[in-house]
Structure 1
Amino acid sequence: MFTEELEMELVEYFKELDSMFYELTRSEFFRLAYDLAQKNTITHPLNWDKNRSAGNEWLKGFNHRYSEIVLKKPEQTTIARARGLICHKLTVFTTFYGTKW
């Protein structure tokens, strides 16, 4: 249904979010695919309009073509990990802007 270019945009967007430790849920990914189809006036199944999201059959085909995309149930970030991320971001910020805290 999508062109290879549009599917690659989805894959790259997914990878970019993953690199920032943001995991999409299945429903968010389905909605993203629906929005992409709407924006590009791509013919899609009628049940997509009813649910305002893509369906399981589309995801099966997409996963077959791009097996590196894995949708997981997001987990809460532990306090220790959150503190580590904050320290890392402050270090990057201060290195970039030359600010000392």
Structure 2
Amino acid sequence: FAVFVKMHTAAQFAELKKAFDAQYGAAKSSFNTQSKQQVYRWKDGDVKIKLKKIEATGQFKLAFYYAPLSTKLNEERLENIPPEIYKLSADQESEAP
């Protein structure tokens, strides 16, 4: 019911934001001053899309949620799954675009 993607560059983040804005309209956005995290949100039917930029760590993340199921669960809990659980192997990661 959820997919998480880590991005490696600000350029990837910018291209995705541009594409989602074009496809789904201007994003709803929020900025958490404490965590220095910018979050952009779109919705397409039952799918929620989040694009996050965490300025403090330089991380970029993309998440898709299937709303009927994700509303029953805590999305923040899912996003805090340890990276080793979903991380690509070193060989696969080097092949990622």
Q: TM-score range by the shorter chain?
A: under 0.3
Whichever of the two has the greater Rg, that structure is 1
More strand by share: 2
More helix by share: 1
Q: TM-score, normalised by structure 2?
A: 0.25
